[in-house]
Structures are given as C-alpha cells and as structure tokens.
Amino acid sequence: MSKTAYTTPGRLQEVLALIQVLSLDEYSHRTESGMVAELQGNPSSSDSWTDLAREHPEFFRVRSDDKNIALVARHVMPRDGDRKRELPSEIMQKLFQTAIDLHDRQKAAAEWWKSFMPLWAALIGGIFGTISTLVTLWLKGLQR
C-alpha cells in the first residue's frame, strides 16, 4: 500500500465494496470480469479491480497466474464441513474499521499543512496591520 492510496477520491468506498464482495460472496476468489459484473462497473479510483486489490495488500491478494482476487482474511480461514471458508461478521467489521482508520490517517497526513492555516492568517493579518500603522504614521508626519 502506498502512503497516499486512500487519498485517491473514491478509494475508501471501493475498498469497502471489494471487502464486502469477497467476504460475503459464495466464491472466495473472483476474477476481474466477476468483480465488474458483481459491482456493475470498473472502479473510479484505479484502472481495474485487480489493480485496486494489488494496491492494498493489507486486505487482498492477487494470484499472478490467473489474476484471481481474494480477501486475505477469508483465504486463510479454515474450511467448514461443506469445504467453504466463512468469514465471521466480527472480522468483516474489523476489516471495515481498519480500512476507515487507514483512510483517516492518510487523509490527515496529506493535509498536515492545513494545521498551519490559522498561523498564516495571523501572520498575514499582523503584517497588514503593521503596514497600515506605518503608513498612517508616515502620512501624519507629512501633514505636519
């Protein structure tokens, strides 16, 4: 995951959608075409669902041979009696919360400069106030 992956517009929503499909769907692995069909289109924050999954290895893995996308947490779950891997809802909820936390941290880190806005406003106001005072004093000196 890059340090700015979640700052891409629409990224959080698409990561959450991918988590939902891969955790709740009957199939634990999906192809690109399967994701496009299930989510009714391509992602807006990446070139493809496969690329989006590759950009977030904290949640997904993409097999290099057939490019199947899987949710890591579901992939490592033991199989039940029907040979299926079920993901408990508590884990899914934790995955959602983790994605949201990562998004919030990256957004805050990308917008660090905004914390200096009040300082800049005060500094600029002080400069204009000083210039105004000096001009007023200078004009009064000219009138004498």
One domain for residues 71 and 31 = yes
Domain extent for 100: 5-110
Do 94 and 44 share a structural domain?
yes
Query: What is the pLDDT at residue 73?
Result: 93
Q: Is the pLDDT of residue 80 over 70?
A: yes
Angle at 37 between CA 1 and CA 98, to 5 degrees: 30
Q: List, for residues 88-136, the tens digit of each pLDDT value.
A: 889 999 999 999 999 999 888 877 666 666 777 777 888 888 888 888 8
Number of structural domains the chain divides into: 2
Verify that 104 and 125 share a domain, yes or no: no
CB atoms under 10 Å from CB of 19, counted, come to: 22
Per-residue model confidence (pLDDT) at position 109 = 82
Query: In this structure, are 13 and 84 located in the same domain?
Result: yes
pLDDT at 52 > cutoff 80: yes
Strand order in the sheet with 69-71: 29-30, 69-71, 60-62
Is the whole model's pTM more than 0.85, yes or no?
Answer: no
